Amino acid sequence: MAKKILILSGSPKKKGNTAILVNWFTEGARSKGADVEIVQTAFLKYKSFGCTSCRACQKSEKYECAINDEARPILAKIAKVDVIVMATPLYFYGPSAQLKLVFDRMFSLYKWDNEADTMKTPLKGKTFVLIASAYEDMGLDALEKPFRLTAEYTGMKFQSLLIPNAGESGNIKDKTAIKKKTITFGKQMV
Ligand SMILES: Cc1cc2nc3c(=O)[nH]c(=O)nc-3n(C[C@H](O)[C@H](O)[C@H](O)COP(=O)(O)O)c2cc1C
């Protein structure tokens, strides 16, 4: 069966470096038969600014966010795919706020029992992939850390493609070595 890949692309630039990297990654993954869906998290309609910490998800049996907006079905999809990809520009040594709007709501895909000291999640065993770019040649290690730690905590395999010196938004399109590397990376994730 085709491997299912869901990409959460978190840049506010529709044709920027993140979008271009995501397209190259997708080209590689689809060439190996993957079923790839791309969601641009900056353009979903939200009813909240990220996770509101309402904890309603922890009281329900379902792995479902209580906020009923366009992010909710995307979160449900995350629980079903084989590979979750998050793509983001580096913004002050962290991911974009537009990506965090969905990332933090993955809280609903965990069930914690603090008394029993247990955690359950359908994310265990999946692959978690980070694609990130920056203008400068430093800072991507800081950005990577919360993604890697989340993968470790959850029991997901972690892979990343970090692109320093990517230039301003859209400039990456002429960088053929990065294109090749990203297509190859996409193939390897299948
Ligand atoms: C708000 C903002 C913050 C940024 N912060 C950094 C930074 O701390 N370090 C860096 O190297 N580049 C920084 N950049 C540049 C972007 O990370 C870089 O150009 C990226 O490739 C742009 O991707 P995009 O076209 O998908 O938005 C920043 C850009 C913006 C708009």
Which numbered atom of ligand 1 lies nearest the CA of 166?
A: 21
What is the pLDDT, as a whole number, of residue 28? 98
The alpha carbon of 93 and the centre of ligand 1 are apart by a number of angstroms equal to 9
Residue nearest to atom 2 of ligand 1 (CA): 91
Task: Answer whether 98 contacts ligand 1 (Cβ < 6 A).
Answer: no
Q: How far is the CA of 152 from the centre of ligand 1 (A)?
A: 26
Three-class DSSP labels, 39-71: EEHHHCCCCCCCCCCCCHHHHCCCCCCCCCCCH
Nearest CA to ligand 1 atom 1: 91
Q: What is the pTM of this model?
A: 0.98
| The two three-digit tokens of residue 68, written as one number | 């009923």
Ligand 1 centroid to 135 CA: how many Å?
A: 6
CATH, domain range 4-188: 3.40.50.360
Q: What is the pLDDT of residues 160-176, one digit of tens each?
A: 999 999 999 999 999 99
**CA 124/CA 118 separation, integer angstroms:** 14
Closest by CA to 40, choosing from 5, 72, 7, 64, is 7
Q: What are the contacts of 14-17 at 24+ separation with CB within 8 A?
A: 14/40, 14/43, 15/170, 16/89, 16/169, 16/170, 17/89, 17/133, 17/163, 17/166, 17/167, 17/169, 17/170, 17/171, 17/172
Short-list 6, 1, 5, 4, CA closest to 102:
6
pLDDT number for residue 65? 98
Percent of the chain at pLDDT > 90 equals 99
Ligand 1 pocket check for 89: Cβ under 6 Å: yes
Domain ranges of the chain: 4-188
